[in-house]
Structure 1
Amino acid sequence: MDGPVVLAGDEGYDEERSGFELTVTHHPAVIVGVTRAADVVEAVRWAADRGLPVAVQATGHGASVPADDAVLLNTRRLDGVSVDPVAGTATIEAGVRWERVIAAAEPHGLVPLSGSAPFVGAVSFTLGGGLGLMSRAHGLAWDHVVAFDVVTADGQLRHVTPDNEPDLFWGVRGSKGNLGIVTSLTVRLFPVERIYGGRLFLDGEHLRAALDTWTGWTATLDDETSTSFFMTQFPQDDTLPESLNGRYVLQIRLAYVGTDLEVGRRRFAELRDALPPAFQDTLAVLPYRESGSVHGDPPSPVPSQSRTVRLARPDAGLLDVLVERAGSGSVFGVEVRLLGGALDRAAPVPGAARRPRGAVLNVYVASLVPEPAEAPAIAAAQQAFLDALAPWSVPGAELNFLAGVNTGVHLTRDAYLPEDYERLRQLKARWDPQNRFCFNPNIPPADS
């Protein structure tokens, strides 16, 4: 191995095993800092010879279960990015974050279908579907994978395309690491240089009126407009800006990705004029490299607990639940993203990340967990909120929003269409019959 091989007690063990999600702590038998695809091959073969499971971590944003007594492959050193401006594609290695892909593509007037946070791993994001600012215009990130290199549980490195391994190409795109370890993938890029977007910050006292306005406005949108809102109680903390310290705040996020940014400016002005007054407005023309400012996701590791659910079109009853259950004083924040557009259309090349139809909104509920003893009460509060949303919930889930203790086999199963889930179990039985790749939203092999 060119990179480090680290055991418990060795210098660097804690650094190599740590990730973004601090409520999941790995205790692997050995950590391998892979630097090339051949290292992944050797590590998988070594683990198979000893009957050990294998886990993978780049940034650790989507950590699900602790990789205890496993071989943990840290892929952050697999950091190559190459852009083919003629083909309009980028080839991305497993440890690369979206911000590096954006920087490499931007000089060519191209951008990837990255997520709301540019500091997450590009490959893992794509393998889980990939919902971002341009998804209503172009679909999920996995829709635009051209090829990938994957190490399967038998220790073989395979170059996979729709032509040479159609079943594996179908299954890897959306199975979140269940069928192999992707060392690199090639994705299509899109000709976008700038977007119009940002956030409107409203005081919580205007919550219901603002949600009524936002809901009616979203019914008029085209596919090039994306929007979400985030409602949360900020703590009393002198490190926060004075405008947020101890305040309940509604953030409305907006992004227009069409060619004529004036269309976006006019559309968002219509919304702003209809809303209660915002105490902060960041709407502006942005180079795509600043697209992360639209959501402003926290870049530092945090201990958190989250849940997710998809909902049908909102009505007055749903808005009542949001205000009553997630309003001022709530122990969790709630993000609601508008779906639809290209997300409801068939993908150019079908994949396992296909979601059941009928969802208009994706809801993500998240809480900070400063002390482990607080986790049960937080979990109970989140579950009560999801129970209240049940009349509007529809099947399916975004895999990239499943993390931590809320990543069970039943939640993973329900994220897929039933026929797709059974097909994935058959593929798992073929490509990973021992379920060696199990530290993920796990899909057990058929007949296991």
Structure 2
Amino acid sequence: MTAELIDRLRAEITAGPVLGPGDDGFADEVAAQNTAVRHAPDVAVGISSEQDAAAVVRIAASAGVPVRVLATGHGSAVPVADGILVTTRRLGGVSIDVSRRIAQIGAGCRWAEVIAAAAGHGLAPVAGASDNVGCIGYTTGGGLGPLARTFGFSSDWARSFRLVTADGEVRTASAEENPDLFWALRGGKSGFGIVTSMDFELVPLSTLYAGTLFFDADQIARAFGAWVDWTKTLPETATSSAIILRLPPLEVIPEPLRGKTVLGVRFAYVGEGAGRASAGGGETAAGTAGRDLAREGERLLQPMRDVATVLIDSVQDMPASRIADIHNDPRDPGPGWDRGQLLTDLDADFVNTFLGVAGPDQQVPFVAIEIRHLGGAVARDVPEGSAVGGRGAAYTLILIGVPDPALFDTVLPPAAEALLAPLQPWISPEHNVNYAGGLTVPGSYEACWPAEIFQRLAEIRSTYDPTGVFPYGPPER
């Protein structure tokens, strides 16, 4: 069956490889950013056009073979073990319509390409913390970046998608055309088709006051408690997160942080003139400029600078094109394990409980434990509605495991459960699919959306993919 399938695909795919497991280049074609996940589909197809995507889907549907999609592989948590794996990295390219502030983004693009293309026009995408992440998978899950309180979920800024649905047809999904699919793709994640491109509205933003304050281990308790209180005073134009890092003694790490457990307080301020677009993509002010931006940013951040001794202070004026410097996430492929939750409002009891299970005196197998402040624009849905889950949460929590695959199945899951158990009073009943990790915890997938949204997503999938060409959800589904 596989040999026949490969022959049919090679006869119709106009460009890009069609590879079986024994072919040269197969392993590279299916490699993910998370190297702990090794995909082993029956066939890998590298598409370079919508026509190729449509051909793959038609052939798969007629053969009763499932189709899954791989772009950068940042979201890969569970190996693909059968069917066709479509890789979209060859669907690149970014074009900017300056007058409309719209970026047309190919499915294979990473945020770095969009940021660079927009920066020359004084524009910026509402992107993620890492500019190395693929745009499409991130956006269809919602996307909470370092400007989330000001501009909301990244998916709120998607204006249309092009995709191939299970019948092999190329469709546009927007507020005017196939609006049910558009609603679903802004937060519903997967199971609707192969997205080939996205139109994404940009914001006029050229400068930030942003960076990170680092505190040594003996200052963490004081600084973290102050951070929780401080977040309740911030305007929507400021977004912050706090992260406990357990850093190895490697030379690539700055000497003041090397081999230490530290707290990083990340901060991004865009200016008092910035805000959400209006219905239909209205005007957004560019924000406070120049010295006014820095002066107001300094005023807002000063309580955190004063609360404890700062080990490193990198907060400064920076071009919006350097937004990825705030989180400074790794860019090279490597093994990864994470587990996320959303949180309700935090208080002094949370601070004490959290430090008791995750603070610097605890021995836990997590290199990073991060909490991001939400609210503001995150809490407001777009006028036409969207499927994204988690708008009512106040904070996020994510655990990043020690990057040793030997720990991923046996050590990290029970360690995560032990850490999260005392935090249950603050864990939100809402969840978000981009924070759900491998979806191996029973019920975690269903919890990514309110029940009525989950049901509507299932109905839309059934309408556009009645035979289940595009699998979705946890591994057992």
Q: CA deviation at 1:395?
A: 1.5
The range that moved more, 145-154 or 233-242, is 233-242
Higher relative contact order (CA 8 A, sep 6+): 1
Q: CA deviation at 1:3?
A: 0.8
Task: Give TM-score, length-normalised by structure 2.
Answer: 0.89
Deviation at residue 373 of structure 1 after TM alignment: 5.1
Counterpart CA distance in 2 for 1:349 and 1:145 is 12
Report if aligned partners of 1:133, 1:255 keep a CA contact under 8 Å in 2. yes
Residues of 2 paired with 1:379 and 1:408: CA distance? Answer: 9
Q: Partner amino acid for 1:325?
A: V
Could you tell me which amino acid in structure 2 is paired with residue 346 of structure 1?
D
User: Which among 44, 50, 53 is matched to residue 40 of structure 1?
Assistant: 53
Corresponding residue of 1:250: 263
Q: Secondary structure at the match of 2:337?
A: strand
Q: Which residue of 1 aligns with 2:44?
A: 31
In structure 2, the residue matched to 1:383 is: 417
Correspondence 1:411 to 2:424 = no
Paired residues of 2:210 and 2:316 also in contact (CA < 8 A): yes
CA distance 1:283–1:369, shift in 2 (3 Å): closer
- Residue 86 of structure 2 aligns with an amino acid whose one-letter code is L
* Range moving further from structure 2, 43-52 or 394-403: 394-403
Which digits, 9 at most, give the CA deviation of each residue in 1:304-358, with x for residues without a partner? 221111111111221112212112332112100000001112322211114352x
Residue in 1 that maps onto 2:454: 421
**Corresponding position: 1:152 with 2:138:** no
Contact 2:341/2:396 (CA < 8 Å) preserved in 1? yes
Counterpart in 2 of 1:62? 75
Aligned equivalent of 2:206, options 175, 179, 193:
193
Letter in 2 for 1:74: T
- Note closer, same or farther for the CA distance 1:188–1:340 as it changes in structure 2 (3 Å cut): same
Point out where structure 1 has 5 or more consecutive residues left out of the alignment. none
Contact 2:380 2:391 in 1 (8 A): no
Question: In structure 1, what is the equivalent of residue 463 of structure 2?
Answer: 430
CA contact (8 A) 2:379 2:391 kept: no
Contact 2:343/2:426 (8 A) holds in 1 = yes
> 1:151-209: per-residue Cα shift (whole Å, max 9, x none)?
11111110122122121111122111221111111111100001110011111111110
CA contact (8 A) 1:64 1:441 kept: no
CA contact (8 A) 1:229 1:252 kept: yes
Residues 373 and 99 (structure 1), Cα distance of their counterparts in 2 relative to 1, 3 Å cut:
closer
Query: 1:178·1:442 contact (CA, 8 Å) conserved in 2?
Result: no
Distance 1:215 1:251 in 2: 13
Distance 2:440 2:194 in 1: 19
Residue 370 of structure 2 corresponds to residue 335 of structure 1? yes
Distance 2:78 2:19 in 1: 20
Give the match for residue 349 of structure 2: 317
2:377 counterpart of 1:345: no
Aligned to 2:240: 227
Shift of 1:442: 7.8
Q: Contact conserved, 2:243 with 2:371, CA < 8 A, in 1?
A: yes
Could you give the per-residue CA deviations for residues 203-244 of structure 1, whole angstroms, max 9, x where no partner exists?
A: 111111011111111111111100001102223445533322
Letter in 1 for 2:202: L
Q: Distance in 2 between matches of 1:210 and 1:303?
A: 31
Letter in 2 for 1:433: P
Mapping for residues 99-110 of structure 1, pairs under 5 Å: 99-110=112-123
Give, in whole Å, the separation in 2 of the partners of 1:251 and 1:433. 47
Q: Which AA in structure 2 matches 1:421?
A: F
Query: Are 1:393 and 2:427 an aligned pair?
Result: yes
SS in 1 for 2:409: helix
User: Residue 378 of structure 1: CA displacement?
Assistant: 1.4
Change (3 A) 1:137 1:66: same
Tell me how far 1:430 sits from its aligned partner.
1.2
Distance 2:238 2:126 in 1: 14
Match of 1:78 among 74, 86, 91: 91
Whole-Å separation in 1 of the counterparts to 2:407 and 2:415: 14
What secondary structure does 1:213 align onto? Answer: helix
Cα distance change, pair 215–151 in 1 and its aligned pair in 2 (3 A) = same
1:217 and 2:230 equivalent?
A: yes
Match of 1:8 in 2: 21
1:33-57: CA deviations, max 9, x gaps? 1111111111111211221111111
> 3-state DSSP class of the match of 2:180?
helix
Superposition map of 1:264-275 within 5 A: 264-273=297-306, 275=307
Report the equivalent of 1:365.
399
